[in-house]
Amino acid sequence: MKEGKVIRLTGGLYTVVDQEGTCVDLRAAGLFRHHKESPKVGDDVAYDDLIREIRPRRNNLSRPAIANVDQALLVNACKEPDFSFLLLDQFILLILSAAVKPVIVVTKIDLLTAPELAQLKRKLAFYEPFFPVVYVDSLAAAGAEALKPHLRGKTSVLAGQTGAGKSSLLNAVDPTQHRATDAISQALGRGKHTTRTVELIPFTGGWIADTPGFSSLEFAGIDLATVQDLYPDFTSIAAACRFNGCTHVHEPGCAVKAAVAAGSILPERHQNYLRIREEIKNLKIRY
Ligand X SMILES: Nc1nc2c(ncn2[C@@H]2O[C@H](COP(=O)(O)OP(=O)(O)OP(=O)(O)O)[C@@H](O)[C@H]2O)c(=O)[nH]1
Closest CA to 132 of 105, 113, 114, 154: 105
Amino acid residing at 234:
F
3-state secondary structure of 186: coil
* CB 133 to ligand X: min, Å: 15
- Residue 106: CB partners within 8 Å, gap ≥ 6? 76, 77, 78, 83, 120, 124, 133, 134, 135, 136
Is residue 78 involved in binding Zn ion (CB under 5 A)?
no
Q: Give the single-character DSSP code of 98.
A: T
Q: Which does 241 bind (CB under 5 to 8 A by kind): ligand X, Zn ion, Mg ion, none?
A: Zn ion
Residues 187-246 interacting with Zn ion (rule: CB under 5 A)? 241, 246
Residues in the site for ligand X, rule: CB under 6 A? Answer: 107-108, 110-111, 136-139, 160, 162-168, 181-184, 191, 193-195, 212-213
Segment 220 to 259, residues that bind Mg ion, using CB under 5 A: none
Instruction: Provide, rounded to whole angstroms, the least separation between the CB of residue 14 and ligand X.
Output: 21
Least distance in angstroms from the C-beta of 96 to ligand X: 22
Q: Minimum Å distance from CB 251 to Zn ion?
A: 6
In this complex, which beta carbon is closest to ligand X, that of residue 52 or of residue 190?
190
Contacts with Zn ion in 246-265 (CB under 5 A)? 246, 248, 254, 256
Q: Which is nearer to ligand X, 158 or 256 (CB)?
A: 158
Please state, in angstroms and rounded to a whole number, the distance separating the CA atoms of residues 25 and 23: 7
User: Quick one: 100 or 109, whose CB is closer to ligand X?
Assistant: 109
List CB contacts of 23: < 8 A, sequence separation 6 or more: 7, 15, 16, 17
H or E segment to which residue 21 belongs: none
Indicate the pairing of strand 155-159 with strand 2-10: unpaired
Site residues for Mg ion, window 155-184 (CB under 5 A)?
Answer: 166-167
- Select the residue interacting with Mg ion from 76, 155, 195, 272 (CB under 5 A): 195
* Inter-axis angle of helices 144-151 and 166-173, nearest 10: 80
Partners of 67 in the β-ladder: 60
Cα(262)–Cα(264) distance, rounded to whole angstroms?
A: 6
CB of 276 to Zn ion, least distance (A): 16
Query: Closest approach of Cβ 244 to Zn ion, in Å?
Result: 10
Residues of this chain that bind Mg ion (CB under 5 A): 166-167, 194-195
Residues of this chain that bind Zn ion (CB under 5 A): 241, 246, 248, 254, 256
